[in-house]
Chain A
Amino acid sequence: EVQLVESGGGLVQPGGSLRLSCAASGFTFSNSWMSWVRQAPGKGLEWVANIKQDGNEKYYGDSVKGRFTISRDNAKNSLYLQMNSLRAEDTAVYYCAPYLGSWGQGTLVTVSS
């Protein structure tokens, strides 16, 4: 069974940093492109970033480019999102998702003073 468990969310002040993790199991993690997608409270889905299987290609949405970094550790079946210079508008539930697969339950990031 595919399982993705996000962690690392919480309350952070504007301008602060946070690192999200996603532990994957039940599928061949190293064979899959992976994504981060977020959803602000009461809003729709927003794609955040993609990373290729070997980590050598990374792409970001315009709203996070230059502030967020996606990475992965295939030996640990784990996906990460380093978030810097956080803003109030980054407040959202962050989901990790394999290419055309099941999503995790998400982790809530709240940016507020």
Chain B
Amino acid sequence: DIQMTQSPSTLSASVGDRVIITCRASQSINTWLAWYQQKPGKAPKLLIHKASSLQSGVPSRFSGSGSGTEFTLTISSLQPDDFATYYCQQYNSWSLFTFGPGTKVDIK
């Protein structure tokens, strides 16, 4: 099975900060990686798919990179609406999807 890890688990930041979240896969998943944002009591929202493709309607301050086993989500200038929990997800095979444990971005 493919395991996903994320770091850090919690990140304290201020508005305007550049934020980087890392996601690692236990084996290569090429670029079959998505990033989701979730706010309390809400459904997750897709931000990025195929490691670096920005979902329609998502602000350009969000970007993704990586391939193989190491990936990053970058928020170039953190906005008040961005305080949330972020999850990576691998979808390398239809027979097994896996989510990372999440990274909570809170206010410093």
Binding site for B on A (CB under 8 A): 33, 35, 37, 44-47, 50, 52, 57, 59, 61-62, 95, 100-106
Min CB distance B44 to A, Å, is: 6
Interface of B (DSSP majority class): strand
Not counting A44-B87, A103-B43, A104-B43, a sample of 14 additional A-B residue pairs whose C-beta atoms are within 8 angstroms of each other reads: A37-B44, A44-B101, A45-B38, A47-B96, A47-B98, A47-B99, A50-B95, A59-B94, A62-B1, A95-B44, A102-B45, A102-B46, A105-B42, A106-B43
**Are B43 and A95 neighbours in the complex by a CB distance under 8 Å?**
yes
Q: Give chain A's interface secondary structure class.
A: loop
CB closest chain-A residue, reference B43: A103
B residues lining the A interface (CB < 8 Å): 1, 34, 36, 38, 42-46, 49, 55, 87, 89, 94-102
CB of A100 within 8 A of CB of B87, answer no
A10 vs B96: C-alpha distance in the bound complex, in angstroms? 27
- Most chain-A Cβ atoms within 10 A of its Cβ — which of B87, B99, B102? B99
B97 and A50 contacting across the interface, CB-CB below 8 Å: yes
A33 to B99, CA, bound (A): 18
> A50 to chain B: which residues have CB within 8 Å?
94-95, 97
B103 to chain A, nearest CB (A): 10
Chain B residues near A101 (CB-CB < 8 A) = 46
